[in-house]
Structure 1
Amino acid sequence: MTYEEALQKINDRLVFGVKPGLERIQALCEKLGDPQKRTRFIHVAGTNGKGTTCTLIASVLQAAGFRTGLYTSPYVLDFRERFRIDGEMIPKTELIEEVERVAAIAAELEAQGETITEFEFITALAFDWFARRACDFVVLEVGLGGRFDATNVIDTPEAAAVASISFDHTAVLGDTLEKIAYEKAGIVKSGGSVVLYPVQDEAVTRTFSTVCAERGAKLFIADESRMEVGETTLAGTAITWDGLPLTTPFTGAHQVHNAATALTVLGVLREKGVQIPDEALQKGFSSAYIPARMERLSEKPLVLLDGGHNPGCAAALHEVLTTHLSGRKITAVMGIMSDKDSMRYLELTAPHFAKIITVAPHNPRALSAEALAEEAAVFCADVTPASSIEEALRLSAVGDDEVLVICGSFFLASEIRELAIERYTK
């Protein structure tokens, strides 16, 4: 099997969509020898900020000398970004081996009438790879919700974290914050330790308090009174936590909350005897990196790439634009999926832009450039649909003292990132 054939075997399963229930992933894992039982996990759910929280925790554990796995989604540039150990993506040869192993088992189950989804397949693959590579810890990001998410097949983790919860995937998770929080609280295990993002709707906090009490789990709400925030720029944020100076490359008030959540999780691990020196906290925070999260691709002109796609992400982008780029002439290249709340996203972001170029990423769920342009015109006077990524970049050309923001979807970020870097960093 070639690498391309391995990817195709995985992608072929996308047609099966999302299927609630853990019975299929349990069957897959059992036939693999239950690799998820041979690893210590930090399990992270939430609507926004999961990726940052996971990355900060994993970066610190790696800096502390632990072999650390990291499982995240979606990817931006390379499918293998979803599976990393100590910051390194799974090698292509090992991905091929894992696909062959899991595909053989999936075929057995399908012969018995089961249908294995793409996310179930790659989650089993991840568990197997992390176990075979003898990871000390794996930071595990929930894919969707929590209760029926394939990652929830694990036993009680070393710690669970819940990032910011807001409205997303309402057709699957429910149309109220209580319903969404209940689904995400499905990761709370008996006797576990759960850390909650410090700024949540009261309904979310109430739901988690109730669920933790019912299951005998300890609930920790990240205490930002332990934190002092220093200088915040587009390059990152300086903070002090219990007197320890730290810097993170992420910017925005929401990133301060994510940092507090990650630090509280690491504190829980310390209380359990995990050796995490202060130096590891400092090194792990300063070296953390995620593509397409307010990522600066160029300084002159300033080109920002942000893949956030829901109202919570739009609010974060709005804050950065207001705080750091007020008064600047900003052009946007924007692409959004049709199943997202595009009008709310536009309401928060589009008024900041002097010009918007809309484009449809190469994805069957993408909102057409024309439809997005019609919606964006409600908030911005200069909106033009583009027929391709290349045309969008050409139409959005900016001068050295101007700003280009590429936003709205990780699918767009994936397609445009290298082309934008090539265009603006020559």
Structure 2
Amino acid sequence: MTYEEALQKINSRLRFGIKPGLERIEALCKKLGDPQKKPRFVHVAGTNGKGTTCTLIASVLTAAGYRTGLYTSPYVLDFRERFRIDGEMIPEAELIEEVKRVSPVADELEAAGDTVTEFEFITALAFDWFAQRDCDFVVLEVGLGGRFDATNVIDTPEAAAIASISLDHTAILGDTYAKIAFEKAGIIKKDGDVVLYPVQDPSVFETIESACNERGAHLHIPDEKNMQVNGTALTGTALTWRGLPLTLPFTGAHQVHNAATALTVLDILREKHANITDEVLQKGFASAYIPARMEILSQKPLVLLDGGHNPGCASALHEVLKTHLSGCHITAIMGMMADKDSMRYLELTAPHFERIITVQPQNPRSLSAEALADEAKHFCKDVQFAQSMKDAIEKATVSGDEVLVICGSFFLASEIRDLAIEKYKA
């Protein structure tokens, strides 16, 4: 089996979509020897910020000398980004071996009438790889929701975290904060420790607190009095946490809240005797990296790439633009999915842009460049649509003190990132 054939085997399962319930993933894991019972887990749900929270926690655990697995989604550049140990993606050869190992088990279940979805397949694959590689900890990002998410097959983790909750995937998770919080609260387990991102709609606090009380879990809300912001820039944020200086390589007020959430999880792990020193915290924070989340691709001209796609992400981008780029001449390249709230996204971001070039990512769920351009014209006078990513890069050319912001979708980010780097490389 080649690497391309392995990917094809995984991707062919996309057509089966999302099916509620944990029965299939439980059966799949059981036939693989229950690999999800071997490592210690940190389980992270939420609408926005869970990727950052996971990355910070994993980076610190790696810096502490623990063999640390990290399972996240979506990927930006390479499918293997979803499976990492100590910051390194799964090697192609090992992914092939895992597909060979998991496929017959999935086929056996399907022969008995249980269709294994793509996410269930790769989640079982991840559990198996982390177990085979003897991970001490695995930081596990929920794919969608929480209650019926395939990652929720694990037992009570060392700690769980629920990041910022906003209105996304409302057709699946519900159309209110309380309904969405109920689904996220599905990861809360009996006698567990749960950290809740400190800035939420009041109904989120009520829902999560109620779930913790029902299950005898311990709720921890970060005390942001322990956090001081000493300086902010597009390149990152200088923090002090209980007197300890930290460099956070991400910008925006939301990232400070994400950092407080991650640090509170790490406090819990420390209380459970994880060897996390102050020096380890500093090293782990400083070395954290995520592509396509307020990522600077070029300094002059400034090119900023952000793959966030929902109103919460739009609000975060709005704050960064207002704080750091007010008064600048900004051109945007924007592409979005048709199932996202594009009008709300545009309402928050488009007024910052002098010019918008819309483009359609190569994804069946994507919004056409023309349709997005029509919507963008409500908020920006100069809007054009592009025929391709290359055309968008050319139409949106900036120089000198001008700024280019590429935003709206991780699918857009994955397609255009290398083209933008090539265009603006020093």
TM-score band by shorter chain is: over 0.9
1:267 paired with 2:285, answer no
Q: Distance in 2 between matches of 1:330 and 1:225?
A: 35
Unaligned runs of 5+ in 2: none
Q: Distance in 2 between matches of 1:48 and 1:215?
A: 25
Q: Distance in 2 between matches of 1:213 and 1:404?
A: 48
Q: Distance in 1 between matches of 2:38 and 2:60?
A: 21
Question: How far did 1:274 drift?
Answer: 1.0
Which digits, 9 at most, give the CA deviation of each residue in 1:192-233, with x for residues without a partner?
000000101110000011000000000000110111111000
Letter in 1 for 2:267: G
Letter in 2 for 1:419: L
Q: In the alignment, which residue of structure 1 is the partner of 2:401?
A: 401
Q: How does 1:125-204 map to 2 (within 5 A)?
A: 125-204=125-204
Q: Distance in 1 between matches of 2:162 and 2:303?
A: 31
Question: How far did 1:281 drift?
Answer: 0.2
Question: How far did 1:272 drift?
Answer: 1.0
What percent of counterpart residues are identical?
77
Letter in 1 for 2:309: H
Q: Distance in 1 between matches of 2:413 and 2:210?
A: 39
Moved over 2 A (4+): none
Secondary structure of the 1:289 match is: coil
Which digits, 9 at most, give the CA deviation of each residue in 1:318-344, with x for residues without a partner?
000000000000000000000000000
Q: Distance in 2 between matches of 1:188 and 1:31?
A: 25
Q: What number of residue pairs does the alignment pair up?
A: 426
Unaligned runs of 5+ in 1: none
Q: Which shifted more, 72-81 or 271-280?
A: 271-280
Q: In the alignment, which residue of structure 1 is the partner of 2:37?
A: 37
- If the length of structure 1 is used for normalisation, what is the TM-score? 1.00
Q: How does 1:54-73 map to 2 (within 5 A)?
A: 54-73=54-73
Secondary structure of the 1:189 match is: coil
Q: In the alignment, which residue of structure 2 is the partner of 1:348?
A: 348
Letter in 2 for 1:3: Y
Q: Distance in 1 between matches of 2:400 and 2:418?
A: 19
Q: Distance in 2 between matches of 1:76 and 1:331?
A: 22
Letter in 1 for 2:215: R
Which digits, 9 at most, give the CA deviation of each residue in 1:250-297, with x for residues without a partner?
000000000000000000111111110111100000000000000000
Q: In the alignment, which residue of structure 1 is the partner of 2:304?
A: 304
Question: How far did 1:153 drift?
Answer: 0.2
Question: How far did 1:70 drift?
Answer: 0.2
Letter in 1 for 2:78: D
Question: How far did 1:400 drift?
Answer: 1.6
Q: How does 1:216-227 map to 2 (within 5 A)?
A: 216-227=216-227
Which digits, 9 at most, give the CA deviation of each residue in 1:107-130, with x for residues without a partner?
000100111100000000000000
Q: Distance in 1 between matches of 2:416 and 2:207?
A: 40
1:205 paired with 2:205, answer yes
Letter in 1 for 2:195: V
Question: How far did 1:399 drift?
Answer: 1.4
Q: In the alignment, which residue of structure 2 is the partner of 1:323?
A: 323
Q: Distance in 1 between matches of 2:352 and 2:26?
A: 47
Letter in 2 for 1:423: K
Q: Distance in 2 between matches of 1:364 and 1:61?
A: 38
Q: In the alignment, which residue of structure 1 is the partner of 2:384?
A: 384
Letter in 2 for 1:33: G
Q: Distance in 2 between matches of 1:20 and 1:117?
A: 10
Cα-Cα RMSD: 0.4
Letter in 2 for 1:225: K
Letter in 2 for 1:215: R
Q: How does 1:269-308 map to 2 (within 5 A)?
A: 269-308=269-308
Letter in 2 for 1:311: P
Letter in 1 for 2:40: R
Q: In the alignment, which residue of structure 2 is the partner of 1:92?
A: 92
Q: Distance in 2 between matches of 1:271 and 1:214?
A: 24
Q: Distance in 2 between matches of 1:82 and 1:330?
A: 32
Q: Distance in 2 between matches of 1:385 and 1:14?
A: 29
